[in-house]
Structure 1
Amino acid sequence: MTITPNNKQVNPQQPMFMSAKAGDSFDLLDSILRHWKLVVFFSIIGLFVGVVVSRYVRDSFENKTMLQLDTKSKSSKAVSDFGDLFDAKSPAVAEIHLIKSLSVLMPVVEQLHLNYTAEPQGIVDRLMRREGRMDLDLFEPPKMDREDKSLKGKKWIAVVQSQDTYELFSPMGQSLVVGKIGETYRIPMGADTVAICVKAIYAAPGQSFSLSKSSVLNVAEGLQSAINAYEKEKNSNILEVSFSGRYPDRVANVLNAIAQAYVRQNVEMRSAEAEKSLEFLEEQLPSIKAKLDSSERLLTNYRNKMGTIDLGAEAQGTLKRQVDLKAQLLMLQQEYQEKARLFKEDHPAMQAILQQQQRLGKEIAMEEGKTKKLPTTQQDVLKLQQDVEINNQLYTSVLNNIQQLRVVRASEIGNVRIVDPAYVREKPSKPNRKKIMLAGFGGGFAFSVILIYLLHTMRNRGVGSSSEIERETGVSVYAKIPKTQISRKLPGVSDKRFILAKADPEDIAVEKVRTLRTALEFSFLDEGGRVLMVTGVAPGAGKSFVSLNLSYLFAKQNKRVVFVDADLRKSRLSHSREKGISDILINNSKLEDCVIDMGEGMYFLPKGSRAPNPGEMVSSKAFADLIDECKAKYDVVVIDTPPNSLVSDAQAVAKLVDFGLVVIEYKKHSLEVIQETIDQLNIAKLKKVAIALNQCVNDGSSYGYGYGYGYGYGYRYRYGDKKKS
């Protein structure tokens, strides 16, 4: 933390962190731009997949029907006399469940033969959108199909012969019948038969269909999931039922059949109570008529026996009141019996009737008390006339109620009506083919970007800032060598020892190597040093590229430079039959016999024949003497060693050199690995060490070079893309 002149605290790491994040974003964008061909390729592949999927997905037609729910009773006055039996309210939620009930859907499945299916076959026809259609009225395969395991996975096939004929094939491929539409065929198969009736064919000759039959229950349960029923707005009592399918006319037929079945069931349910009441009254009517006849007969016999008896005004008034009260009591008793089928005795409606009966009973008792004051003959006549009047009034009331209930039963329309039936829609609701193709294109583009991002992340797991490396390790970064693209047309590009500085001196990477050469001249050549070791942190850093071009640039300054290939294990620069270091150390070959003149003052010393123990060889006194001999004969000695992280050869060579150059690949190595390499060289008492950051990107240009160097199972040697003209 630092303090500015304005006494403001500034965190020096914050702008560096923000710069690093911005740099990473620019690196990723640059990586995407550099791999534009990959982006285009996967985008085209995604678009192609989207086109295929959009054509493979079948059209789906959605349709709707609208229903209105009436929660107010439309029943006649006669029904209301019997309470709320015919005025039950049906909430929208309950009605939605009824619409999707099996009692509604199963008859629809049977009516429209939805359990028989004819599925079009052929991927080409489906992709070309040439699929036909076959409607079945009947398909009954033999029961042995379900029992014979050998037929599992095999299908019944119907092949269209013409617009009105087809040929049926068994699962074994046997032709059974050539039939016509509208005709039912029953073909014997062993001890069973197969039955088929094709309602219609809308397909070109040669198209085939696989036939199957499902249980009505399974299809109805499938409809339960496929149908969507909901209230259009809350408390609006307007219900919408929607359904989607492959064929628009079938979708409309299914919805209309469901609506009609539901309305019919609703009417039947609402008229069921009237039917029960009518049945009860018709059962009671004969006994009421018998009581009326009996009371009239008793009154007639009494008059014949006793003669005409004149009743006074008071007796006639008492008679009328008793008749009315007892008629009301009988009606209450009848209503109590009616409701006893629906409610328990402690129900409020039942208790209300009982209270009314008790009140009427008290009033009747009072009137009967007045009757006892009359003469005996008048009491007898009064009682007989009272029975006749009561039974006659009850009989007439029951007849009227029966007639009214019959009218209610015949005229009941339920509490639901169809507002809008489903009409056949010609335009499919799904799929949106443009969206599918756009999604395919976007998916391909996104996949390519994610792939590039993953590759970018894998390749850029380490540090790329020279200032960060210098701050953490204390070692100077002498150069940041950018990536460049090497043209295949350059002379000698296919040679193992291809030198870019010689073939293309103006390349941006060569310019940075010149900067490195200048820094090395000041740091060790001007101080009397002559031996330079170039090593890498890990395989693929490009140390051989740097050391080879650096040697050539030293030679261009009129210096005799020898490049020593000290990678005795798996060098990529030396040929297998060339004499070199191992031959000098083992077979006592001479240095001048092994050195290869590469021209312009540069010489190359190969690794030689296969060495039995490379680590011991570079650590030997003979190797040290060889380096001393090189120092005596050449102005600059550049030693290329194996990667330091794999073997200890670089540490052994470090004891013999004046300066060490560590080549690090841009954003490939962590600070811990870099620091470990520096520490190992310091242990070998090599105090003068510098770093070259190689294969940099976004270093003021968009260059990159394609050399790669791998160590492990074997070296890989690759060139980059052709250089842009």
Structure 2
Amino acid sequence: MNTDSQKMSKPSNDNASNSDNDEIDLMALLLALLRGWKTILFFILLGLVIGILYSRYVNPTFRSDALIQIDEKSSGLPALGENISDLLGTENSKAQTEAELIRSRMILEPVVDKLHLRIKLADLEVSAIDKIVSDRTHTQINSPEGVALRTTEGQVRISEFNVSQGYLNKPFTLSREGADFVLTNGFDDFKGKLNQPQKFSGVDGQIHITVNDLPTDNHTIRITKQSLQTTTDDINKSLSVVEKGKQTGIIELSMTGANQQQTSMILKDIILSYIGQNQSRGSEETTKTLKFMETQIPLLKKKLEDAEGVFNEFRKKYGTIDVSKEAELLLTENSNIDVQLNELKLKKADLTTYYTEEHPLVIQIDEQLKVLNDRKQTIDNTIAGLPELQREFLKLSQDTEINREIYLTLLKNYQQLQIAKAGQLGFARIIDLPISTYKAIAPKKLLIIVLGSLLGAMLGAMLVLIKNMLRNVVKDPERIEAKTGIPVIATIPRSPIITRLNKKKSSNSRLLAYADNNSISYEAIKSLRTNLVFGMPSEGLGFQRAKVILITGESPGVGKSFISSNLTEVFTQLNKKTLIMDADMRLGQLHKVFNMGQANGLADYLSQSNEQTKRFNNPLIDIDKTSGLNGSDISEFIHPTGIENMDFMPRGENPRNPASLLANGRFDHLMTELNLHYDYIIIDSPPVLAASDAMILAQHADKVLMVTRYEDSIEGQLVYAINQMNKANIKVDGIILNDVQQGLLSKYSYHYSYAYGNNN
């Protein structure tokens, strides 16, 4: 019908931008967050609800504290003198080392065994909803007598539960049947009597259990025997052992748990276990030395008695021998050497109970013994030169003196060690034992609720920003023009009244002229009409006098039918005969705007037989005042709308291939006939990206307008749709930005036009 030369000549924007602006518009981000306030509020409320539910679901956590002081060395030995202290040696203890020792199995295992901490009970009848509703659930209580757990239907009491290695850390269930109980692991069922020790043989080993009490029948309890390693690991997770300050020697112990009394009791037993081990460790050296002395004293006593007996017999037989001064000095020196040798041997014997022969201290004593033995050998050689009788006297008197000195020294040290052992207290003492405050340290409900709300706000903001970045919607007219090179010829504000009417299927007219004729939306449609009237040729070429305007969009739902119907209505106000055609033969909805049916429309006309097509080629006989057509086959497909100078052609019944119908020449003939009887023809076409119909229909249009929806359409889709039209040599004359919303949250609300008075 018309070519590009027949279309209105309009300068294009040659300076269109081909790349995105990489600068971050902070104001745009803020506005995006404000526009997404509903999403953010939803996640804030969601975080608030989750925080409240979590704070009620989790059992309260209690804490117990205690203090221990670590001394540098034992306090029982220094007062006994330097000699005995040297005999036992000294031992330094660092607080950090002791802190690690407290967490060891050596300290924790006695506590675990005493309180049956390896037995774990759980009430399977307590659900997550019960925990939330009750705000607190019962926890097991461990004592030397066994393990107990309160339930809503009775109490559980287990005094013994020992299993073989194969059953460790594997859950069993307990239930009551009258005076009996049933223990099962899903494979084996064991039945026993309450209050009686029971022994069962299973696939994985032996089970020893004593059940004292259970809730009512069919109330199931889960029971598990943990391994020692698992139990001590669990204790260490809730146990904190740290030194307060630096080099203070004060260790602070703290433990957390779901039961205040239970937590304090376990921590107290851990402290007592450590103190007991500490005292035992502090007196261990003294005990070993005393045992050694107890074995040596009887032997030395007998040896002394034997030496005195031989010496006395010698004196009875030969009388007293006057030993020379030299011999006396040699004897004295030899005696002193023997005393030193015995003391060194005693020390070596004591050291070898702890160290090997290669230890530096043992090697040092061996070297001293060698020097003394060499000197003793020299003296013995000198004495050998004395007369035989004198030598015998010296030998016997020397043996007696040495044995007496050794015996008395050992006896003295033995008595001193007994006194020392009685006074030894160890190097650790309790400063504060744990006490029960019954003040929960967790959960901090207010903090959890606040954090939940903040996390919800952060998540909501992140989703809004991510959505805003991934879904770059149409907002700024200048940006649209820069990216597409097509001018935005109209911005149509949202009409709240029409929006509400569209939600009601039973509503009648959805035209602005009847529903919202005082709105700025209606004035914007009139401004669009003015733009189009002055932008098109004043007269048609030859017999063509109708101005054809094609309205399409990049995707469904942009509001092209709203623009088409209201634009057609405002053209009728110019006393011009207008026709609105629903060319979307797939999903067109214009018939609902005029409260009509979709039958007898464009698809029906294009689908009629060749014979009907030939008849249609005859000239029209008459033109009706309302419809513009009468006495012609085409008249049955065009319907009056009830609005003066306005007719409507619905989409018709759903055809198989709408694009083929438009391209077979019948639509060209239709447009030729319609141009004879109308001043303006508005064609509502399918979206460009959904079908190719718009490209076929555009060949008959004087103006091609692209409708896009504010903050809903995607910029990339709009640009792609226009590029597709350009590739088909179709010029898009303008873009209509529809459903623009005004407000403080809109950065581009200045694009609104304002109504002035009550114009028609």
TM-score, scaled to structure 1:
0.82
Is it true that 1:251 corresponds to 2:281 in the alignment?
Answer: no
Match for residue 651 of structure 1 among 695, 717, 720: 695
**Structure 1 residues 65 and 700: CA distance shift in structure 2, 3 A:** closer
Q: 5 Å matches for 1:488-499?
A: 494=506, 498-499=510-511
Say if 1:329 and 1:360, in contact at 8 Å, map to a contact too.
yes
Distance 2:395 2:172 in 1: 88
Trace 1:603-642 onto structure 2 (pairs within 5 A): 603-642=647-686
| Structure 2 partner of 1:31 | 35
Match of 1:155 in 2: 173
Local SS of the residue matching 2:579: strand
Distance 1:155 1:146, change over 3 A: farther
Q: Which runs of 5+ in 1 are unaligned?
A: 1-11, 160-165, 179-183, 706-725
Query: Is 1:324 aligned to 2:345, yes or no?
Result: no
Output the amino acid matched with 1:564.
Answer: M
Q: Which stretch has the larger CA shift, 119-128 or 327-336?
A: 119-128
Offset, 1:330: 1.7
Note if 1:597 corresponds to 2:614: no
1:686 CA drift (Å): 4.5
Counterparts of 1:19 and 1:526, CA distance in 2: 46
What is the 5 A alignment of 1:335-354? Answer: 335-354=347-366
Provide the rounded CA distance (Å) in 2 between the counterparts of 1:666 and 1:52: 40
2:599 alignment counterpart: 578
| C-alpha spacing 1:110/1:611, structure 2 compared with 1 (3 Å) | closer
- Paired with 1:147 and 1:334, the residues of 2 have a C-alpha distance of 53
- For residue 95 of structure 1, the aligned residue among 95, 98, 102 is 98
Match of 1:55 in 2: 56
Correspondence 1:74-473 to 2 at 5 A? 74=75, 75-76=77-78, 77=80, 81=84, 83=86, 85-120=88-123, 121-123=125-127, 126-127=131-132, 128-129=134-135, 131-132=137-138, 135=141, 137-138=145-146, 139=158, 140=160, 155-157=173-175, 169-171=181-183, 185-186=196-197, 194-197=209-212, 210-216=222-228, 218-311=230-323, 315-365=327-377, 367-368=379-380, 371=383, 374-457=386-469, 460-473=471-484
Structure 2 residue aligned with 1:550: 567
Structure 1 counterpart of 2:559, which letter?
G
Change (3 A) 1:145 1:80: closer
Number of aligned residue pairs: 671
Contact persistence 1:697–1:703 (CA under 8 A)? no
Q: Does 1:478 align with 2:478?
A: no
1:565 aligns with 2:582: yes
Unmatched tracts of structure 2, length 5 or more: 1-15, 147-157, 541-545, 613-631, 750-760
1:471 and 1:605 map into 2 onto residues whose CA distance is 36
Residues 181, 192 of structure 2: 8 Å contact kept: yes
| Counterpart-to-counterpart distance in 1, 2:598 and 2:268 | 90
Letter in 1 for 2:492: I
Q: Distance in 2 between matches of 1:141 and 1:387?
A: 66
1:485 and 1:704 in contact (8 A); partners too? no
Per the alignment, residue 509 of structure 1 pairs with 521
Amino acid at match of 1:464: K
What CA distance in whole angstroms lies between the structure 1 residues aligned with 2:256 and 2:653? 78
Of the candidates 512, 527, 531, which is equivalent to residue 500 of structure 1? 512
For 1:373 and 1:221, the matched residues in 2 are separated by: 76
**Aligned equivalents of 1:115 and 1:374: distance in 2?**
79
Would the aligned equivalents of 2:722 and 2:732 in 1 still touch at CA under 8 Å?
Answer: no
* 8 Å CA contact retained: 1:86, 1:274: no
Q: 1:704 to 1:505 in 2, by over 3 A?
A: farther
Q: CA deviation at 1:432?
A: 0.8
The answer as to whether partners of 2:59 and 2:136 remain within 8 angstroms in 1 is no
Higher mean C-alpha deviation, range 105-114 or range 608-617: 608-617
Where 2:557 maps in the other structure, the secondary structure is: coil
Q: Matched residue of 1:240: which SS?
A: strand
Q: CA deviation at 1:204?
A: 13
What letter matches 1:357 in structure 2?
Answer: L
Q: Distance in 2 between matches of 1:506 and 1:662?
A: 26
For 1:144 and 1:92, the matched residues in 2 are separated by 38
Name the CA distance, whole Å, in 2 between partners of 1:158 and 1:668. Answer: 64
Please report the RMSD computed on the Cα atoms of aligned residues, expressed in angstroms.
4.0
Instruction: Determine the C-alpha separation between the residues in 2 that align with 1:586 and 1:205.
Output: 78
Give 1:570 deviation, angstroms. 2.3
The question of whether the paired residues in 2 share the 8 Å contact of 1:78 and 1:404 is answered with no
State how far apart, in whole Å, the 2-side matches of 1:680 and 1:478 are.
Answer: 20
Q: Could you tell me how far 1:545 is from its partner in structure 2?
A: 1.4
Deviation, 1:585, is 3.3
**Cα distance change, pair 413–143 in 1 and its aligned pair in 2 (3 A):** closer
Query: SS state of the match for residue 603, structure 1?
Result: strand
CA distance in 2, matches of 1:674, 1:333: 103
How many Å separate the matches in 1 of 2:505 and 2:644?
Answer: 18
**TM-score, length of structure 2 as denominator length:** 0.78
* Distance in 1 (alpha carbons) for counterparts of 2:521 and 2:116: 78
- C-alpha distance after superposition, 1:621-665 (max 9, x if no partner): 321222222222122110111111232211211111111111123
- Larger relative contact order (C-alpha < 8 A, sep ≥ 6)? 2
Measured against aligned partners, the alpha-carbon deviations of 1:200-255 in whole angstroms (never above 9, x if no partner) come to x9x99999865554455542342233322122223222212221112212211111
For residue 333 of structure 1, report the CA deviation from its aligned partner.
2.2
SS at match of 2:91: coil
AA of the residue aligned to 2:705:
L
Give the deviation of 1:51 after TM superposition: 2.1
Whether the aligned pair in 2 keeps the contact of 1:156 and 1:168 (CA below 8 Å) is: no
Change (3 A) 1:660 1:494: farther
Shift in Å, 1:532: 0.7
Amino acid at match of 1:581: L
Percent identity at matched positions? Answer: 28
Distance 1:514 1:553 in 2: 6
Q: Distance in 1 between matches of 2:597 and 2:443?
A: 64
Distance 1:235 1:116, change over 3 A: same
Aligned partner of 2:549 in structure 1 is 532
